[in-house]
Amino acid sequence: MNKNTLDSGNQQSTFHPFFLIAKQELLGSFASKGGLFVSGVFILIWSWLLFYPIQFAAEAIGNSEGSSFVLVILGWLGLEALNSWALSEFAVYWAVALYLFPVFSLLMSSDQMISERKRGGLRFLTLRCSRGSIFFGRFIGHILIQACLLIVTLGITYLLLLANNSALWLEGMLVLPLLFLNLILVISPFVALMSLLSVAMNSVRIAILIAIIILVLARVMINSIASEFYVLSLFNYLVPGIQIKEMAQLSIDSTVSLLWIPVLQSICFLGLGYGLFKRQSI
């Protein structure tokens, strides 16, 4: 082998494998045909939501005649607190994003490793970086994908706010980081759950199905068991999204007090997923 070539191997990459994996995941999601299609559908759905239902609801909240009707709807949904937001566009965005983003993130991050493991592609990676870099790099990659989508939707909502009332530009600007922080942390356990299921399951469809079962049935089961053994109700805190309803009823600066729940859930799912992946045959 050419000695010069061997020496060039000593040129160290500026990125840790962990960041390279995350970057590849991010680029792969937006640069591939499949990724572009999913992102396109996402933006289309959000554009429709922002320019029709959210715009309508925001105008109605801001309008004294429409507000009573919207308040009734918000009351049905348990979201009366939104009426107290000065920025009605962001108020409605918050309520919609809190419920929709977790669902999107769950679907979009469902195949963090399954297809690649099935086709043997992981075997090329484990010779070059640790399993930890692969597992956590993929998770961070998917969080970055969601962060990009959040930034796009927040940007569009901000433009909508400016179009409706440009005097509120500063208030809008100040609320953006808070909304971003809250939503990214709300999403993280859903992505982490899919990281775990990507390791544990051999099919993307089954992984999604199991995730839905966990989200829908876990609380019912835990509550029925907890009626006998109250201490077991603590397991409710492991169900992703358990705090969302409560967060939707709070003002944006009060929701920080609930963010420990998604952080704790993410740590648990990631710890479990990594423990499994470290021992898994690939």
Partner 1 sequence: MTAILECSHLSKTYGNKKALKDISFEIQAGQPIALVGPNGAGKSTLFSILAGYERASSGSAKILGHQVGSSELIGRIGVLPQDALFDPSLTLLKQLSYLAQLQGYGRAESQKEALRVLELMQLKDLCNEKMTALSHGMKKRVSIAQALIGSPELILLDEPTAGLDPENARNIRQNITELSRDITFIVSSHNLSELERMCSQVMHLEQGELKALQAIGVSSEVTPKALDYITLRLTQGNADIISKIQQLGSVESVNFKQDDELIIAYNKNENSILDQDLLKLLASETTPYRQLIQGQSLENQLFRDGKK
Task: Provide the binding-site residues for partner 1, judged by CB under 8 A.
Answer: 1-2, 5-6, 8-15, 17, 20-21, 24, 28, 32-34, 116, 119-121, 123-130, 279, 281-282
Report the residue number, 119 or 170, with the smaller CB distance to partner 1: 119
In terms of CB distance, is 2 or 64 closer to partner 1? Answer: 2
Q: 89 or 116, CB closer to partner 1?
A: 116
**Closer CB to partner 1, residue 126 or residue 203?**
126
SS3 readout for the chain: CCHHHHHHCCCCCCCCHHHHHHHHHHHHHHHCHHHHHHHHHHHHHHHHHHHHHHHHHHHHHHCHHHHHHHHHHHHHHCCHHHHHCCCHHHHHHHHHHHHHHHHHHHHHCCCCCHHHHHHCCHHHHCCCCCHHHHHHHHHHHHHHHHHHHHHHHHHHHHHHHHHHCHHHHHHHHHHHHHHHHHHHHHHHHHHHHHHHHHHHCCCHHHHHHHHHHHHHHHHHHHHHHHCCCHHHHHHHHHCCCCCHHHHHCCCCCCHHHHCHHHHHHHHHHHHHHHHHHHHCCC
Q: How far is the CB of 12 from partner 1 (least distance, A)?
A: 5
Q: Smallest distance, Å, CB 133 to partner 1?
A: 8
Smallest separation, CB 109 to partner 1 (Å)? 17
CB of 176 to partner 1, least distance (A): 33
Q: Which is nearer to partner 1, 33 or 228 (CB)?
A: 33
CB of 106 to partner 1, least distance (A): 23
